[in-house]
Structure 1
Amino acid sequence: MIECDGRQHYADEAGRADSGRYAEMVAEDRELRLRGYEVYRFGGAELTEGSATDKELAAFFDRLAERYSG
């Protein structure tokens, strides 16, 4: 499972850090892992920061493919 985390995962409507929201997110991660899923999280900024993003994502998916091919 691949997750892209934006502000809604860790902040309230005013943009302030919300430890309750964050706790809910990590609790869901644990539940998914206990059910046998692997969770790969990306922060929203990782996907919007320019040309390096394409290279980083390509490298991640190449490594993921290597892990499961063979």
Structure 2
Amino acid sequence: MDFLLLLPHRARVVIECDGKQHYADFDGRTDPRRYAAMMAEDRDLRLKGYEVYRFGGADLTDDQATEQLLSAFFDRLHERHRQ
């Protein structure tokens, strides 16, 4: 897990920033087993009561677009967990 946010009312939010190591082998080829393992971890976290949000590496490479994306995401997350 890249980030864990502990919010009011016991909300636990996991934020993952996925580079290609999450879905590709060391040669850069897609690896369905790696991806399946990542999804299994997501399911396990969700069953334990965590919210899981993933961002792909490409989401985080353009400074202006990334700032807009994250700003909108955190605004929506805030709305979801407002007291």
> Normalising TM by the smaller chain, what interval?
over 0.9
**1:14 and 1:49 mapped to 2: Cα distance?**
25
Give the secondary structure class of the aligned counterpart of 2:51. Answer: coil
Worse-superposed segment, 48-57 or 22-31 = 48-57
TM-score normalized by structure 1? 0.95
Structure 2 residue 22 is matched with structure 1 residue 22: no
Give the secondary structure class of the aligned counterpart of 1:39. Answer: strand
Counterpart selection for 1:47 from 60, 66, 81? 60
**1:22 and 1:59 mapped to 2: Cα distance?**
27
Match in the other structure for 2:44: 31
Query: What displacement does 1:59 show?
Result: 0.5
RMSD: 0.7
Unaligned runs of 5+ in 2: 1-13
| Amino acid aligned to 1:37 | Y
Q: What is the number of residues matched between the two proteins? A: 70
Q: Which has the higher helix share?
A: 1
For residues 33-65 of structure 1, the C-alpha deviation after alignment (integer angstroms, 9 at most, x for no partner) is 000000000001101123111011101000100
Highest RCO, 1 vs 2 (Cα 8 Å, sep ≥ 6): 1
Runs of 4+ in 1 over 4 A off after TM superposition: none
For residues 9-39 of structure 1, the C-alpha deviation after alignment (integer angstroms, 9 at most, x for no partner) is 0000000000010000000000000000000
TM-score normalized by structure 2? 0.81
